[in-house]
């Protein structure tokens, strides 16, 4: 799949049972050298934003490479039509059929970018504890933004959770959460004290043994709850809920006249 995203041309190559998916940047550089480090960093940031948007749109985890990538494949050697699958960038999507990518959420500030990157990390990790912390951090993103902009924030993260749970009781039902476990605390306070703080500060007084079956079961249930809350938060508070009659918060893949590669715009 060829496409242009944030003024950079890319080719996404579907993986196989042996190779992971590859995200290639198409750029002209001198044959004797690759892109400068500054340009490589810029392209990497754009590529990661694309992967975060793709993770949100497809509801899948994507683990990107930790490096900028590897060497290019020049036109003299066949260009990208004959590129070898030797660069492993995002984690393979081979576990499911992926539909055509026709739309992506529009990221127009660093707070949306941070929220979607945390969502991608949470979906990709196998660690329950890290997954929970990523989702929790998403809820804190916009409050930080409002404080920096001097906008009054009527709710803390805990208060927002309680309000959201009151309007979406199905979240607790889906997680099979026994409200007696909250020890008369609100759901927000329970998630903060018994889960978030207990994970961040593993001490005897928090009574969370990371390797115990009881502790893992507790965090597993809490993670189901916090994932749904994070999803609602991104849709409602950050404005990334897709609506057919109001789609200015999304990019769409469009074929532009006289352009060989379609563009997300």
pLDDT of residue 132: 96
Instruction: Return contacts of 224-228, CB within 8 angstroms, 24+ apart.
Output: 224/174, 224/175, 225/171, 225/172, 225/175, 225/177, 225/187, 225/191, 226/132, 226/135, 226/136, 226/139, 226/191, 226/195, 227/122, 227/131, 227/135, 228/168, 228/171, 228/174, 228/175
User: Are 7 and 63 a contacting pair, CB within 8 Å?
Assistant: no
Give the tens place of pLDDT for each residue, 167-213. Answer: 999 999 999 988 777 777 899 999 998 889 888 887 656 677 777 88
Return the beta strands (E) in the chain as ranges.
2-5, 8-13, 22-26, 103-105, 250-254, 263-264
Buried b (16+ CB within 10 A) or exposed e, 233-245: bbeebbebeeeee
pLDDT of residue 95: 43
pLDDT of residue 82: 52
Return the beta strands (E) in 146-249 as ranges.
none
How many other CB atoms are found less than 10 A from the CB of residue 163?
13
Enumerate the β-bridge partners of residue 12: 23
Q: What is 30-78 written as a DSSP string?
A: -TT----HHHHHHHHHHHHHHHHHHHHHHT------SSS------GGGT
Report if pTM > 0.85. Answer: no
Q: Within 13 A of 239's CA, how many CA atoms are on the CB side?
A: 12
Phi, psi dihedrals of residue 211, rounded to the nearest 5°? -95, 0
Please tell me whether residue 133 adopts helix, strand or coil conformation.
helix
pLDDT of residue 30: 56
**Cα–Cα distance measured from residue 165 to residue 162, given in angstroms and rounded to the nearest whole number:** 5
Structure tokens at 123: 């979906």
Give the tens place of pLDDT for each residue, 132-151. Answer: 999 999 998 877 777 776 76
- Residue ranges in the chain whose pLDDT is less than 70: 28-36, 65-99, 149, 151, 153-154, 203-206
The CA distances from residue 217 to 20, 95, 165, 245, in Å, are 32, 25, 21, 41
**Cα–Cα distance measured from residue 133 to residue 135, given in angstroms and rounded to the nearest whole number:** 5
Q: Within 13 A of 59's CA, how many CA atoms are on the CB side?
A: 7
User: Are 124 and 62 a contacting pair, CB within 8 Å?
Assistant: yes
């Amino acid at each position: 799949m060829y496409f242009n995203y944030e003024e950079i041309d890319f080719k996404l190559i579907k993986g196989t049972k042996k190779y992971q998916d590859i995200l290639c940047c198409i750029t002209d550089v001198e044959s004797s050298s690759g892109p400068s480090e500054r340009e490589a960093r810029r392209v990497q940031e754009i590529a990661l934003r694309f992967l975060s948007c793709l993770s949100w749109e497809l509801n899948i985890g994507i683990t990107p490479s930790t490096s900028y990538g590897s060497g290019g494949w020049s036109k003299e050697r066949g260009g990208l039509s004959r590129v070898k699958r030797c660069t492993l960038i995002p984690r393979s999507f081979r576990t499911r059929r992926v539909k055509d990518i026709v739309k992506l959420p529009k990221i127009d500030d660093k707070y949306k970018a941070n929220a979607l990157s945390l969502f991608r990390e949470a979906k990709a990790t196998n660690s329950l504890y890290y997954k929970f912390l990523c989702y929790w951090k998403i809820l804190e993103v916009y409050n930080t933004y409002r404080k920096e902009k001097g906008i009054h924030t009527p709710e803390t993260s805990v208060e927002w959770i309680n309000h959201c749970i009151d309007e979406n009781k199905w979240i607790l039902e889906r997680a099979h959460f026994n409200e007696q476990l909250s020890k008369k605390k609100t759901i927000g306070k329970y998630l903060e004290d018994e889960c978030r703080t207990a994970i961040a500060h593993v001490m005897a007084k928090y009574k969370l043994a990371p390797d115990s079956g009881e502790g893992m079961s507790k965090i597993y249930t809490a993670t189901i709850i916090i994932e749904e809350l994070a999803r609602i938060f991104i849709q409602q508070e950050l404005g990334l809920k897709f609506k057919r009659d109001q789609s200015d918060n999304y990019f769409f893949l469009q074929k532009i006249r006289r352009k060989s590669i379609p563009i997300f715009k």
